[in-house]
Amino acid sequence: MQLNYSLDMPLDEVWNRLKKVSTLHYVADPILKFEAVHPNVFPEEWHDGDYETSLSLFGYIPFGRQHIVIEIPNTISNDTKVLIDHGMDQWFEHGSTPLPL
C-alpha cells in the first residue's frame, strides 16, 4: 500500500518535520499516546535505533508496547531522504520519503 500527500512547503522543511518525534505525537494524538520506555526519554529528533514505547488509547487505556526501529539510510542523492520504521512486526514496515512535486 502506498499513500501520497502533497504539502505546500519546501522539501527541507518536510524532512525536518519528519525527523521530529513531536510529529509522531501530533499525528497520533488523541487516539494513540506513545510513552518512551527504553530509552526512557524520546530524543528531539529520530536517529537510527530501537525505541521501545508503551501505547495507550486516548491516553488512558493501556494498549501494549511497540518498538519503533528507525533507520535513516544514506542515499545516493542529497535530494532523496528516507526515514524507515521497521518496528511494528516482521511483515510491516513503513517509510517516509519527501519528494518534489
Domain residues for 15? 11-96
Residues 6+ apart with CB under 8 A from 98: 11, 14, 15, 18, 81
Is residue 20 assigned to a domain? Answer: yes
Which three three-digit cell numbers place residue 29?
494524538
**Total of domains in the chain:** 1
Q: What is the pLDDT, as a whole number, of residue 57? A: 96
User: Is 100:69 a contact under the CB 8 Å cutoff?
Assistant: no
Is residue 58 assigned to a domain? Answer: yes
- Selection from 28, 32, 7 nearest residue 97 by Cα: 7
pLDDT tens across the length of the chain (101 residues) = 677 778 888 888 988 999 999 999 999 999 999 999 999 999 999 999 999 999 999 999 999 999 999 998 887 666 678 888 887 665 566 778 787 76
Is residue 34 assigned to a domain? Answer: yes
Q: What is the pLDDT, as a whole number, of residue 85? A: 82
Q: Where are the alpha helices (DSSP H) in the chain?
A: 11-19, 21-28
Q: What is the pLDDT, as a whole number, of residue 88? A: 64
Q: What is the pLDDT, as a whole number, of residue 100? A: 72
Whole-model pTM: value is 0.81
